Amino acid sequence: MSVTVSVETLGPCKKLLRIEVAAERVNATFEQITGKFQREAQLPGFRAGKVPRHLVVRNFDARIIEETRRQLSEESFKEATQQERLRVIVTLGSEELSFGRGQAFGYTVTLEHAPEFPLPNYKGLTVRRELATATDADLERATNILRDQRAKYTDVQRPAAAGDVVVVNYCLVSVLLGGFR
């Protein structure tokens, strides 16, 4: 196994995971990510995907390191939580301890997880199901709500009538009636 995990309990639902990924896996991931960058690299003077490895590392080293760190942390965190059978609710923070080519990747993660408790005997319980019936008033209220939600307003060229929705611009009305007072 290339991931070692130790768990420290900080509270009833809070734990600190110390995760370490073996140096061999770190190197293999660096090689995989570098190969991916080499296949996709485009540098002047070279055809796409034909850039020499040393030029890819020199030009894209920061991105290779970041992508390797991201991939290793995602994979190892998932493995660690599965190995420890943790149902993670939220990660509160993480701290990198060591990372680089040729060395193990170590970091800590503080997280909250779902509480563990014994379930009471729930089989054989009787449950009463209440049936709700819709009244005419309920149907009328629901119909009115849907009607209001789906209403479409159109401009008309006639005087306002009862039941119309009128939009009034107060500034425009005030100017037309003789200016601001």
Give the pLDDT score at 9: 92
Q: Which residues pair with 6 in a beta bridge?
A: 18
Helix, coil or strand: residue 4: strand
Residue 110, burial from CB neighbour count under 10 angstroms (0-12, 13-18, 19+)? middle
Query: What pLDDT, on a 0 to 100 scale, did the predictor assign at position 46?
Result: 87
Question: What integer pLDDT is reported at residue 73 of this predicted model?
Answer: 94
- Strand (E) or helix (H) holding 40: helix 23-40
pLDDT at 72: 95
Task: Enumerate domains of the chain plus CATH numbers.
Answer: 3-113 (3.30.70.1050)
**Model pLDDT, residue 118:** 86
Give residue 40's identity as a one-letter amino acid code: E
Q: What is the pTM of this model?
A: 0.63
pLDDT of the residue at 117 = 82
Beta strands in 50-156 (DSSP E): 88-98, 105-113
Residue with tokens 């425009």: 172
Query: Would you state the pLDDT for residue 136?
Result: 94
Residue (of 61, 62, 40) closest to 51 by Cα position:
40
Are 99 and 57 within 8 A, CB to CB? Answer: no
- The 10 Å Cβ neighbour count of residue 60 is 20
173: Cα within 13 Å, side-chain hemisphere: 4
Block mean pLDDT (10 aa), the chain, length 181: 88 93 94 92 86 90 94 95 92 93 94 88 88 92 93 88 82 54 50
